[in-house]
Amino acid sequence: MPDIRTLLAKTVPRRRDAPPTLDITFLMPEIRSLWQKHLRTNVETGACLADNGVGVSLVNHTFGTQTGVSPRCSSEEHAAHLGFIHVHPSADYMIGFSDVDYRSTVLSGDRLSLVYNGEQVFALLRTDEAATAHARLSELERLWANASSEASLVSHLYGQVRSIEPVFSPTQLLCWINDASSALLGFVWYGGVGDGLLIRQGK
């Protein structure tokens, strides 16, 4: 398993070259501290992932709103910036990343994006295949619009006609949309519980 700082020193050439696991256990104390700040403020909080010379640490903590938070720096501003982590509100539990998260990661140039919801951690790892991701953001919007329609159908079927099994369960739908979004944009997504050992998801 490659050291995360070494891995992020340059982008992974191709999605197929991405490692099967990511170990961010050394970051978990800082991530849990960020989560505790979120609980006290009831808004999304975030921090930049930075190369501190010997590893990766969280810097430039920032507070957002109940629906989002933006980083205070970017890869264009300084070479030490590697990515961004934010925590989702406890009432907004979801698997993986939202369409807004994907768009923000593409536009900011982050090599790694993390999200923590108090129980699970998810990661987006950039590859060189993301070089043309900007041109595919409109396609991403269409993908999520179609998924939203499917989600409404799933909710209706579960709530109104429980004897009929929908094509996707809500969990399956979230996994599918993250598989599709990461493949479309040239990223690889990972997931795991709060211990910090993340497993590659999708193909």
Structure-token pair, residue 57 = 């640490």
* Nearest CA among 70, 97, 50, 127 for reference residue 191: 97
* pLDDT given at position 136: 93
* pLDDT given at position 150: 61
d(CA 81, CA 58): 10
Chain segment 92-140, per-residue pLDDT in tens: 567 899 888 999 899 888 899 999 987 889 999 999 999 999 999 999 9
* pLDDT given at position 55: 79
d(CA 126, CA 124): 7
Domain positions in the chain are 4-130+186-200
Structure-token pair, residue 15 = 């999605």
User: What is the model's pTM?
Assistant: 0.85
Chain segment 4-59, per-residue pLDDT in tens: 777 887 778 899 999 999 999 989 999 888 888 777 777 888 899 988 877 788 88
d(CA 103, CA 138): 10
d(CA 88, CA 66): 9
